[in-house]
Each structure stands twice: as C-alpha cells, then as structure tokens.
Amino acid sequence: MSFPRASGILLHPTSLPSQFGIGDLGKEAYQFADFLASTRQRLWQVLPLGPTGYGNSPYQCLSVFAGNPLLISLERLVEDKSLEPADLDDIPSFPKDRVDYDSVIKFKTPLLKKSFETFQRKAAPGKQKQFEVFCQQNASWLETYSLFMALKEAHGLAAWNTWEEDIRRRHPKSLERWSKKLTHEIYCHKYQQYQFFKQWSKLKKYCNERGIRFIGDMPIFIALNSAEVWSHPEMFYLDDSDNPTVVAGVPPDYFSKTGQLWGNPLYHWDVIARDGYAWWIERFRATRDMVDIIRLDHFRGFEKYWEIPATDTTALNGRWVLGSGAELFQAVQNALGALPIIAEDLGVITPEVDALREQFGFPCMKVLQFTFGSDPKADDYRPHNYSRNCVVYTGTHDNNTTIGWFREEDVNDSTQSRKEREREKQVALKYLGTDGHEINWDFIRLALMSPADTAIIPMQDILGLGSEARMNLPGTTEGNWCWRFVPDMLTKEIKARLKKLTALSRR
C-alpha cells in the first residue's frame, strides 16, 4: 500500500511539555497538533501507547490492548468534573525536560483513583451509561486486563508467574474468588481505560480534522509480564513454572557486539495458527481502530526470528527460526482488508524478508544515519536511489539524535570503530555538500527532498538537540524513555524553517 507524499514528526506523548511531570493527552497535545498543521506536517508518529511496566519501556507493555493511564490528562478530568480544581493545587516540582517515572506514578495514581471514586458517586446517568457501553464493547480484552492489573496490585506488583498456582494457571474457581474480592479495584482499572480511550479518541479526531494522521507502533513481541501471556500461555514457549524456555533478541549488530537480548517470550506459531490467527487479527483490529497507520516493529521476525536460550546472558548463541510468514498477513487481510502498514525492516534483511514485505506491498524504512557506510552496496541505500514506496527517517527512537551522531556522542552504543565513524561522516558531508554546522537541518532537508513518499523527523532533530535528548539506547535498561521538550525550544524561526522546507519538497 502506497501513501500520499507527506511528512511528519516522531514524538511520543510522554515527551510533550506538562506541569504534571509527563506529557499527556491534554492541552499541550492539542498545541502540538496545531504546530504540525501550521508547518504542513501531516503525520504524528508515536511509540506503543500501552501501560508500561519495569523500565518504563513502551515496548514492554502490561497489555497490547490497553492504554497507558499515565497519559490521562488530569486537567481533562477536572473539566469532566471527576476531579476538583483543588485536587491539582499541590503539584510537585517535576523536572521540565525529563520524566521522573517514580515521582509521576506516586503523584498521579492516587488522583486517578480519586477520580474513579468521584465518578462513581457523582457522574450523571448519561456518563455512567457511556462507561458501561465502553466496558461492554471492549469486554474481550478489558475484563482480563483489569483483573490482571488488580491481581498485580494485590501481589505487590510481582510478575504473574510468581503468583499462587491456582490464579497463575487461571483456575475457574480462583478467578471467580479473586474477581469478587477485587471488584472495586477491577472497576477502577476499567474506568482508567475508559478515560484514556475517551481522551485519545478526542485528540485523534482533532488531528484527523486538521489533516493529521497518527502512525502507531505495533511491536512483534510482547512482554512476559503482560495480561496476554498470563491469559494465553499456550501461545508461548514456557516451561512448567511459566518461565520462558527461549526468548527474543537479535544477533550482533550496529548497536551491540553481543547482540540485543530483549527477553520477550517467543510465539508457538503452530498453536496460534490453529484458530486462524484469531488473537493476531484482534490485535491488528484494535491497533487499526486506535491509529491511522501501523508501523510494524521488527518486521523481519515474521519471516525468521532470532531464538535465544532463556538462560543465556547475551544474544550470541541464538539461531534463526521460521516465523509465521505470509500466512499471518493473509489471514489478517482476509479478515480486515488491506491495512495501512509500514514494515520496520531494519537489521539483518534477507531476500526472503524483502519478498514477504513486497508480497503485501508494505513500505520499507530508510534511516539516514545508516546511509553513508562503506558497504559495497552502499550506493543502493543513498537517498537519490530510494523508491517512492518507503518511509525515510533522519533517525528513530533507537538512534542517537542527528547532532549526537555527528559529534560522536554516546559512541559506545555502536560496534563501529572511530575510523569507520569518521569515514562515514566525511561521506555524509561530501554527499550533502555541507560543512556540518547545521547537520540536523541538512539531514531534514535530505529526507524531505528524497523520492520517499513519507518522511518522518524525530522532534529532537527539529529542535537541534544532542545526545542529552536521546530517547533510547538499545541494550540498556536505565535512563531511557525519559526525554521531554520544553515549549521555549520550539521557536518561531524553527517553525518557519520547517514549513518552508516542507512546502519546497511538495509534502
């Protein structure tokens, strides 16, 4: 599926400005949408929007169907009369440019619970009915998720595979007993999901009315500590104690000499295929309903994935194993029609991976930071040779910022030698015809002017920031997913420059 020529910005909602310590779905999100529209941007790419667990990674969510309650706007809850204005009088002094997740959770969770209790007591019958309808329409995942979250809280947030065997294995009598015991907590989690999707739907409608479409991220693998693995253990390679026997990752690559050990449980594809990939169809359906375009993360894993023994501490000793292949995408297409999907096909790509992507017409990804290497086929990856049916990025959430890359900040994140990095920079400067003093704008211009139908620029590159603004450093578990921008960074000059370049590139 090809897309109209357009450009947009990669910015996760947590990175928006906010007085509440984390970006949310409130007024600043609408201001960002206005900025996109005013500069001719037609796409807003976000990372997975689910509730995050340990490490705060949106790629290790507690559910693939639920939304992250930390993104709920407290100000919108005041407008909804489920919080009082006085409830927001005592706001802690949060960092302006970073998310301190522990502090945010400590501050925001009690207010979300208070909002639920107020809603129970005071909400008008019409609003109560809306909540009931939401619960009915989303019961297929909401019942399991809400019970799962209530159980996690009752077990001190411990992973589900450490719970007592009867509830860990979902024995019917145990499920019934816990559901009765935790009724209030279960409904509180349902209410938070109601508010999240209510706020998200309003923001999406606002964006769509202004010609802005959302690109949403859909990871291939899901977290062990999630409602879906707890409720469908048969779909994964788990032992008798519900621990993974093999886990996901990738072999040594640009980011790591020992590969990346993600730790996600791997799918029993033969089991999943028995009911026509029903779980995956529902997952695609839910994501399609939430965003306009799906970015399918680690697409190559559907052709072959890197299987690592769960006892290993690095990804070195893995092996390539056949994935679902075309069967999954054919089943999804038969059920839902042709979906607007972008294939994240970075990494070790084979002709078989390319063939799978081309079979369904999914646009591929191009990243400018990977464009100027010394590979014998490097010229094939230069922007002037891009096909139209692709998406070009200056960098992704896993890359350094363009300025950080050029200045060789965070050099330890790469397997390249200093000599190789310097040679790569010189090729880039020669190709761009620049001295590199505004390398971020050089890259932005190159992306926008390329033949690619779609160009996406991380917000950090628009603002001209270095490694201090990096979103994620692959292979590490601390200090990631925290970056936020401060409103003063987005100057009139930056807005005017982006608008002019976008117009010149006919996007």
* Residues that are catalytic: 297, 344, 398
Distance CA 506, CA 490 (A): 23
Residue 366's beta-bridge partner residues?
Answer: 392
Q: Which two tokens stand for residue 328?
A: 């999954």
One-letter-per-residue 3-state SS of 253-315: CCCCCCCEEEEEECECHHHHHCCCCHHHHHHHHHHHHHCCEEEECCCHHHHEEEEEECCCCCC
Which is it for the CA torsion 380, 382, 384, 390, positive or negative? positive
What residues have CB less than 8 Å from 490, skipping those under 6 apart?
Answer: 35, 462, 463
Q: Please tell me the distance from the alpha carbon of residue 377 to that of residue 357, in angstroms, as a whole number.
A: 20
Please provide residue 267's backbone torsions phi and psi, each rounded to the nearest 5 degrees.
-80, 145
Cα of first residue to Cα of last residue in the chain, in angstroms, is 18
Element containing residue 455 per DSSP (H, E): strand 454-458
Rounded to an integer, what distance in angstroms lies between the CA atom of residue 394 and that of residue 391? Answer: 10
CA dist 304 → 256, 264, 352, 428 (Å): 20, 15, 9, 32
What is the DSSP annotation of 66-130? Answer: S--GGGS-HHHHHHTTSS-GGGGSS-----SSB--HHHHHHHHHHHHHHHHHHHHHH--HHHHHH
CA-atom Rg of the chain in angstroms: 23
